Structure 1
């Protein structure tokens, strides 16, 4: 069995664009320690499966949505931490393009046992609720 033929990455053989490629080109991953430390000084909300930190960047730095993922050794060995981070990346990819705000940094922190064990739908619901709490009521 071979995969379907594609001319370009993100397009199928009939020319249609894959929805995964269009999800959100403005999601950027945080890699610098100072960005994680800045986000730690912002707002935070603890949910059952993760902790979400949010920081609004200064007005001159509105280059889309930035997201970071972290799991400490308390979460488990490398396999458990990587599984937890994969799940955090997927919920962020599903929710932040529509509910995240441009000009904000978000950091998802995995929790011991819960991030990898909770049902995926529960993690999605928790991220929706956490963003609603951090952003406040809609105006």
Structure 2
């Protein structure tokens, strides 16, 4: 809702959604679900309550040369100040294809996103979950 109807950037939605969640009635929630077409994930790619999570793995586990799609940013990292904004600045958001070019688990990771080579922080390897 915040992204699709109100134009919020995907990385700014978590705190606003939590405020709204605690203020709305079950009836309003049902109506929003219908209006939004029964969304399966939040803007960070995490499944809505009751929706099964698809198999994913950390970006750090993708072999060099392979391509994967960013699936989700786990809940525990949504609260990290500046983290989602950093991912957005690097072109990393749910639904985006990423090709791993190099890097080890303790080092920055070289990736290609949208035809552009980037070097992202090492912690992204464990905080960005993908499907191959």
Q: What range is the shorter-chain TM-score in?
A: under 0.3
| TM-score, structure 1 normalization | 0.26
Give the TM-score taking structure 2 as reference length: 0.26
Higher helix share: 1
